[in-house]
Structure 1
């Protein structure tokens, strides 16, 4: 397991879980900052690959990511503890909201607080997009554009945004296009 203890793993994902506003996509920026930049537990390339796997497997991306990283760093116990750490805060917050905050959701102060949180979530998602886009759409040599990845990105975006296609279809089509380009056309 290296230098990471099971307790450290659990506490790190517990912290991430408590501040993962905006769901898994909002939490990607936080996970990246903590796990890649601060802790150095995973490399930028590993994190990017992990996101592709976590997004293309069933379940929420945050839970899938925690499970994967937990297993990589601490085996089955690490996987269980990282997953529990990232899930427990959401459970506790939702339970608290349902039981105590619900009557106040129409309160102006509460609405203003959530307006701020929602705006921050958009910034977190954009930050995560920029970090992942840099490692996916740019080559490591001189930071030039990876034309194939960029073309697949554009097609996927068009399918999602303009074509209103289901994300599952877009993921499958993107994977197939990538495989075809490599093994049929050699690029």
Structure 2
């Protein structure tokens, strides 16, 4: 792949500094940097990694960094990518705690965070569209991947309308996919 360990560390450090909104806000940033700009991983790999990172214990950003770092640089890459994504938020929180706590309730802070919060929503929407396109659409007719689309609709309904816990929705969705494979062999 040709990715140096230093390059991997610095890229994940950059991602870590701008991963506002937690892991879900960072999905757009991960996608843009790793899939679109650097082409270190493919769309399909990114979707697979997100599935693994989401279904394993721990924050999605750290899990993704660990997995991608390992894929690109083995154990040293895994360690460096994880450190790269963890160190920046740690430093930001440390600086806020040490120097900015008394200013967090000010009008200036409110204005800054209003902008950051709006950007986080945009990042999450961008991630939804990017990942959704990769999962729900295919390049050949009929252009819609109907099984994942059906599972998505069921999962969304269970989350939004039935207010089912996300863990159960993940389990139900995996079960539906297995059932479709067994019954329809697709």
TM-score (norm 2): 0.97
Range moving further from structure 2, 140-149 or 35-44? 140-149
1:174 maps to which residue?
173
Aligned runs of 1:13-52 on 2, under 5 Å? 13-52=12-51
2:130 maps to which residue?
131
For residues 143 and 19 of structure 1, what CA distance do their matches in structure 2 show? Answer: 38
For residues 104 and 95 of structure 2, what CA distance do their matches in structure 1 show? Answer: 13
For residues 90 and 152 of structure 1, what CA distance do their matches in structure 2 show? Answer: 34
User: Cα deviation per residue 1:8-67 (whole Å; 9 max; x = unaligned)?
Assistant: 000000000001111111111111111111111001111111111111111111101100
2:106 maps to which residue?
107
Give the unaligned 5+ runs of structure 2.
Answer: none
SS at match of 1:20: coil
TM-score (norm 1): 0.96
Aligned runs of 1:31-180 on 2, under 5 Å? 31-142=30-141, 144-180=143-179
Give the unaligned 5+ runs of structure 1.
Answer: none
1:184 maps to which residue?
183
Q: Give the Å deviation of 1:186.
A: 2.0
Q: Give the Å deviation of 1:136.
A: 0.3
For residues 101 and 114 of structure 1, what CA distance do their matches in structure 2 show? Answer: 13
RMSD of equivalent CA atoms: 1.0
For residues 174 and 60 of structure 1, what CA distance do their matches in structure 2 show? Answer: 21
SS at match of 1:40: coil
For residues 81 and 52 of structure 1, what CA distance do their matches in structure 2 show? Answer: 22
